[in-house]
Amino acid sequence: MHEREARARLAAAQAEVVRALVADGPVPPGFDSAHIALARQVLRDKQAHIAHRRALAAARATQRATPWATDVRRPLWRRVLARLAWKTR
């Protein structure tokens, strides 16, 4: 019983902090607002970095799957050949 209550208290406190960090929630009482503001920025930067790496990986996967469509640096004759090869595979 005591354990359940203690866990519920911790859950509520952590939910408040997480909301402040990633969901524009208010800074909970007693916390240093400068540190929370910095933490928000660090988490935002990290999310942007993760999204960027995922986008890069997705772009690479697309390029591998459809080289004739996405590799604009290759000369036209190579792209046409690659497309023919893809169409006849």
Catalog residues that contact another protein under the rule CB under 8 A: 3, 6-11, 13-19, 21-23, 29-32, 35-36, 38-39, 42-43, 46-47, 50
Count other Cβ atoms within 10 Å, centred on residue 20: 19
Rank residues 44 and 78 by Cβ distance to another protein and give the closer one.
Answer: 44
> Could you give the CA distance from residue 50 to residue 55 in angstroms, rounded to a whole number?
9
Q: Closest separation between CB of residue 70 and another protein, Å?
A: 22
Secondary structure element (H or E) that encloses residue 84, with its range: helix 76-87
Rank residues 8 and 69 by Cβ distance to another protein and give the closer one.
Answer: 8
The Cα-based distances of 65 to 13, 56, 71, 74 in angstroms read 47, 14, 11, 15
Q: Closest separation between CB of residue 23 and another protein, Å?
A: 6
Q: Closest separation between CB of residue 89 and another protein, Å?
A: 24
